[in-house]
Structure 1
């Protein structure tokens, strides 16, 4: 799970399939996502299932920050490998801590979907930044 490996496709390959899994709340807010990028949906399901099964017994939370930007984040190692990352950077340590705890508490109870939705990259002029 989440092991470091050589990419199978170049980034410029238009046929490349890149799959990540997301932990989302009941109101569709993203709480966390996979730290790895997978080549197909089934690999992402396997990794998400492993995280769900092992987060309590073999999970280690790592807090990170960017002091220059005043941003706080986190990631989660499972079985010694980075497996989960925060969904965004936070402006305060308290926000990071709350988001981290919510994600870690939610992972063991997560339902893994049987399908995926496709991300469509918008042209630069249509993107919205918060």
Structure 2
């Protein structure tokens, strides 16, 4: 079984105008490949993104967890956010119908952060031509996040 691990993702690769800077984020996925949480911020490069993961691992014990209901326009449900020194560092990857499910997911996230596999970010390669326009993240739609 594959252990829980941090993934680095490039945001909006399909929708970004030529020449606009790339943005990156991280996601924490469990052994079952389901997302446990994601970064609350975006980063200029994969190295900066990995550094944020390292800071989270070092300071997860200092984090403050907040649970709240999402607005009805966004589909409603419960979501969590993790803050360190008042700054959001991680958020739930989705909303939950029940508060207890949201709390359980937060607990799973906090339990796995210190032990999750930390990969080195892959080098970012520029894509050109038809293949670049057609590439879609597995199980995704055009414009979805592409894993780095």
Instruction: Sort the TM-score into its range (normalised by shorter chain).
Output: 0.7 to 0.9
Q: Which blocks of at least 5 consecutive residues in structure 2 are unaligned? A: 1-14, 125-135, 144-148
Residue in 2 that maps onto 1:96: 102
Aligned residues: 113
Indicate which of 62, 82, 85 corresponds to 2:88.
82
CA displacement 1:22-79 (0-9 Å, x = unmatched):
11111211100100011100000000100011011x1000111136344100100023
Question: What TM-score do you get using the length of structure 2 for normalisation?
Answer: 0.67
Question: What TM-score do you get using the length of structure 1 for normalisation?
Answer: 0.75
Q: Which structure would you say has the larger RCO, counting Cα contacts within 8 Å and 6 or more residues apart? A: 2
Matched, 1:48 2:67: no
Divergent runs of 4+, >6 A: none
Tell me the C-alpha RMSD between the 2 structures.
Answer: 2.4
Indicate which of 22, 29, 37 corresponds to 1:32.
37
**Structure 1 or 2: more strand by fraction:** 2
